[in-house]
A and B are shown apart, each in its own frame.
Chain A
Amino acid sequence: MLPDFPKVKEKVLETLNKRMQARSTPSPFQNAKHLRYHEGHRHRIVRADGSVVENEFKEASSKITLDLSQWDSITMEDIIAKIDAAAEEMESQMARHFFGEISKSVEEVGNAIDAKGKPFTAEMYLEALEKVQLDFYEDGTPHELTLVCSPKMAPRMKAELQRLHTDPELARRYNELIEQKRDEWRERENSRKLVG
């Protein structure tokens, strides 16, 4: 074998792995709670309402091809570009899977709202918010929500959400809804069974 430097490689690979992990997780889920399964081929989720969902793991993968005959001209920047491309591919696979699963679950529990081709409005948002279980921080402020849309829809969404604060009627409905969600949250917290 030719001289090698495993300690340096271990560190370089560690850095590349971290980059790959960070970039392959779809952005709406980066702050979501993660659970690492070390074995098995199925997982089960017990929801707050007691319903149980059982699923098989879904593989997200990507291939990196390196041409060793051209190695003299390969730089670390080239490797990083390949890692990023692979991460992007995995991100897209994961995003498709996550959103597919979310849509399926939302349909199942009847939380889906059909806009019937109409453009997004603040009223639609309030209607959706009504169906969502919202959690709060200890000081009573609601957990942030993430809205996922196509880049084309983003300006309209921003404008409509702005209306929630500028339109007095919408603001009143929004505040009432948040207050109602806060009460529901308090009730949930009070009735929560503590372990031990």
Chain B
Amino acid sequence: MSGVKERILENWLDSSNERTFEVPFCFMLLSQGYTVIHMTRHSSMEMGKDIIAIDPQGVPCAFQLKSSPSRSITLTQWRTEIEPQVHDLMLGKIVHPSFPSSTPHRSYLVTNRDLNEEVQRAIDDLNRGWENRGHSEIRLETIVRGQLLKMTLDHTPTLWPAELADVKILLELFLDDGPGPLPKAKVSHLLETTMGLHSNEVPSEAQLVRTAASSALLCALATSPWSRAENYAAEIEAWMIYIAALLAACERWGITQYEIHNSLEIAKNAIFRLLGKLCEELRTRSHLVEGNALADPPLLRVRVTQLIGLMSVYGLWQKIHGQQNKEHFEFVRDFCLTRGPQMVVWGEGTVPQFLAYYWFLKEIDASPNSDFMLMGLLKLIATQNGKQGPSLADPYQNAEDALLEALGFSEKEGKDSTEPSGVSYMAKGLLHLVAKRNWKQHLRGIWPDLMFLA
């Protein structure tokens, strides 16, 4: 089994690019006792530093991550692309509230490729040049493919799934093509298992902290096909599942979130950056069609609903935390206001997407439109699930399965969805929200249908 593990990790590392191995690398640093204090947003302020961390001895470290389409970094790539950034990395001061800007830092070039001999020589010349000028503290250190692979292997000794069924799940995920939705149940099962949520063995605090970092690597590994396909929405879901499993583990074993703060922050940061990537893609697109356009019309509004949900989260995040990329924020606002009316309720699983939009709309539109949208959603659930049918797909059903069923393609023999189910998972929460907004009079109109719901 260990041979398989090494092959998979090697394959993953070789097929990664600097974007897809950045987050796992942060978690590797965490497991080695580093504290990650910053991950890149690729702005000009970062001066060649993708990751800033404090090593176990308290020394600030700056990392520049590089990959290459070829097996190794060539002299041409070094001279044209890497060397100018390396100068910034080594000489630019780390500006961060965690330490004074005069504190000297260690600089690392990290690559999942090898370095050509000429590049090794160039780095050696660079370091000797600074040493000869009396600045031996200015030095570029490297972490290359072999070291990264060793770090990865050291990082996952106990985490590799022990049960064959779990190995099968990991392999199925790892060998997927990645263009479709994330198989959330599989990812969730894998992470819950590795975090010990299916076991009665109580982990120590230190064990859970280590597991938090190692599970993140497993998450990145299992979902790498979606990362390679730049399926940002699926990647966001994977990190959300990771956060949920981590919080569940803390709650179950009575460990405070403070202990796993760094893991949580890296995962949240990863999500924020993915939202930014998604926003960037939307900005450059002239249409929202994905894949084969001939079969796209019944799926467009489902996609729009998911995108509005995600972009609303991104907009809210920027607004609340002040991490404003002004151009992105303006785009998100326009996108949501223009596309909002195209949202569709394919099942109760869309309610969180509508809620994200509802809260964002409240921030950007002073009119009661957001409340009316919420009431419309509640009325729809009450009518379809409570009175006349067809019932909406329950929130445990994903969009793809719900659509297959709605379009008559499902091979599963399910319950008769033409009848009202009399059950709603979301109506009560929505009802409280509407009532809190003081729309009690309007609620009276929906109340008779709501009475049918359990």
Binding site for B on A (CB under 8 A): 1-13, 16, 64, 66, 68-69, 71-72, 74-76, 78-79, 83
Contact = CB atoms under 8 A, between A and B. Distances in A.
Given A4-B180, A9-B291, A71-B287, 5 more contacts: A1-B281, A2-B278, A8-B404, A66-B293, A78-B297
A13 B295 contact: yes
**Majority-rule SS of A interface residues:** helix
Interface of B: 179-181, 229-234, 278, 281-282, 285-300, 302-303, 306-307, 342, 399-400, 403-404, 407, 409
19 contacts: A1-B231, A1-B232, A1-B281, A2-B288, A2-B290, A3-B231, A3-B307, A5-B403, A8-B298, A9-B299, A10-B295, A13-B292, A66-B293, A68-B287, A68-B289, A69-B287, A71-B289, A71-B293, A83-B294
A5 B306 CA distance: 12
**Majority-rule SS of B interface residues:** helix
A139 B296 CA distance: 51
A100 B290 CA distance: 42
Nearest to B402: A8
A75 B299 CA distance: 10
A45 B187 CA distance: 55
A68 B400 CA distance: 23
A6 B180 CA distance: 6
Given A3-B303, A74-B297, A11 B409 contact: yes
Contacts of A5: 180-181, 299, 302, 399-400, 403
Contacts of B297: 71, 74-76, 78-79
A170 to B, nearest CB: 52
A74 B404 CA distance: 20
Nearest to A82: B294
Contact of B286 (A8, A11, A68): A68
A10 B407 CA distance: 12
Contacts, number: 98
A13 B399 CA distance: 18
A12 to B, nearest CB: 4
Nearest to A78: B297
A2 B400 contact: no
Contacts of B231: 1, 3-4
A93 to B, nearest CB: 20
Contacts of B299: 4-5, 8-9
A9 B409 CA distance: 11
A8 B403 contact: yes
Contacts of B342: 72
A19 to B, nearest CB: 11
A11 B404 contact: yes
Nearest to A6: B180
Nearest to B286: A69
A71 B296 CA distance: 9
A13 B289 contact: no
A79 B306 CA distance: 24
B204 to A, nearest CB: 40
Contact of A1 (B229, B292, B296, B298): B229
